[in-house]
């Protein structure tokens, strides 16, 4: 198995790791239901599916 002949510097290592940190997702508040949800994702409120503040699919009523 080949090994590096010289050690990589800490700057070079850190440049590679700049994209490894986790980021918080952007959240939005629905103007209709008032729930917090992730942007560009459908979300459930009381069994109903909403997207962009519009009712997409109504849940089954028992």
Task: Give residue-wise pLDDT tens across range 47-57.
Answer: 999 999 899 99
State the total domains in the chain: 1
Tokens of 16: 């590679």
The closest alpha carbon to 52, from 33, 60, 62, 15, belongs to 33
Q: Residue 1 domain-assigned?
A: no
Which contiguous run of DSSP H or E holds residue 14? Answer: helix 10-16
Could you tell me the pTM of the whole model? 0.60
What span, in angstroms and rounded, lies between the C-alpha atoms of 32 and 29? 9
Question: How confident is the model over 2-61, as pLDDT tens digits?
Answer: 888 899 999 999 999 998 888 888 999 999 899 999 999 999 999 999 999 899 999 876
Q: Residue 11 domain-assigned?
A: no
User: Over 90: is that where the pLDDT of 62 sits?
Assistant: no
The residue range of the domain holding 33 is 27-62
Q: Residue 34 domain-assigned?
A: yes
């Amino acid at each position: 198995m080949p090994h590096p002949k010289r050690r990589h510097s800490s700057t070079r290592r850190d440049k590679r790791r700049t994209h490894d940190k986790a980021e918080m997702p952007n959240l939005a508040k629905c103007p209709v239901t008032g729930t917090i949800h992730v942007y560009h994702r459908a979300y459930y409120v009381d069994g109903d599916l909403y997207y962009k503040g519009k009712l997409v699919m109504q849940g089954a009523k028992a």
